[in-house]
Amino acid sequence: MTELNSADCPVTLPMAHAKTMIRFIRLLHTLHLSPDYQQRVAPLVPETARHDPGHESVMMGYDFHLTPEGPRLIEVNTNAGGALLAWRAQGTTFPCHGRRNAVMDCFQQEISRFSHGKKNKPQHVVIVDDKPEEQFLYPEMQAFADQFTRNGIQTAIVTPEALEWRNDSLLYQGRVVDLIYNRHCDFYLESPAMAGVRSAFLQRKVCLTPNPRTYGLLADKRRMILWSDANILATLDLTPEQRRMLLTITPQTRTLDNLDAAEVWRERRHWVFKPVSSHGGKGVLLGRNISKTRFNALNPEQTLVQRLAPPSTLTCPNREQPVKSDFRFFVYRHHILGVAARIYQGQITTLREPGSGYAPVHLVGHAASSP
């Protein structure tokens, strides 16, 4: 496993803020199951995201900054990597309840929901990514593969090109694949490489998790526009308290073409600029650092403008400079699998800079009831 944890820099999280974050996560889960919300999103997403596969998505990640005003959502992820690094920083590998492996349970629930209860665990799993051996978190994929194998499940880590769509079945080396753990960042299955996976998904021939529907409803960064717009929220089946929570914790988010560019430029220090389809922090620009030339080159329709919610800073033992931190909750449906802090230096969280990584989270304050 890649040496990337930062257990030398423990991070505290007040229990009250942790509870707020968990309530918010569960609110989003409830919202994305709401028919009126789904109808609102449907015109905004492609066919793959309108297709309901009958199950949800493993390894969701909800990222927050803890500001002086309280928690603020940064983004939602459907293939949140780094969980094993995070848990190792906490002194464990996979979270377990007694003898049960909580993460493997998620995959078993996915195949059970997909098969309408006909299967209680997958038989042949492939973990899919683009050039997986070259990926930063390839060791984590290997750890997942090892866990599947230990549970008696044939598993391989492959590129999408290695899969064959033939005779209404998705095959790897001639054997039918019944579950894909998708680490690929073509979230809507739009690239030629993912054509076979797309066909199998739309025809319900494979359990694809995470899948485009969950991405479209929760993790497409443009959904934060809906969650931070009071007029849109007023049209949805939400209580006043739920609307307040969404508007409070979701920073104001718009596409640049829906704002006055001159005003945004004047107020740029209060904004963050993100490509709508970026992942892993790629292309993210803090307004205080953006040049006029770079600003003018932004594609207004493809650029999200989000109110800056600054990260926490903390001093770590044996470190000369303060570090920044955010909090990532790993979630399956409404179940919290774990929480870790990501610490880093520099503009954004990429975990690639020296001294960056996952750190243990210590909850402080009154003891919490079971989340």
Task: Describe the crossing of helices 102-114 and 138-150 by its angle, rounded to 10 degrees.
Answer: 70
**Closest to 94 (Cα-Cα) out of 106, 112, 79:** 106
Q: Which residue in this structure is represented by tokens 């042949």?
A: 124
Whether the predicted pLDDT of 59 surpasses 60: yes
Cβ(54)–Cβ(113) below 8 Å: yes
Distance CA 130, CA 279 (A): 14
The angle subtended at Cα 213 by Cα 212 and Cα 216, nearest 5°, is: 80
Looking at residue 354, its pLDDT comes to 63
Phi, psi of 338 (to 5 degrees): 175, 170
Q: How far is CA 233 from CA 11, 116, 229, 359, in A?
A: 34, 33, 6, 35
Which residues partner with 340 through β-bridges?
A: 328
pLDDT for 192-224, tens place per residue? 999 999 999 999 999 999 999 999 999 999 999
Worst-scoring range by mean pLDDT, 80-89, 121-130, 165-174, 201-210? 80-89
pLDDT for 16-51, tens place per residue? 999 999 999 999 999 999 999 999 999 999 999 999
Question: What global pTM score does this model have?
Answer: 0.92
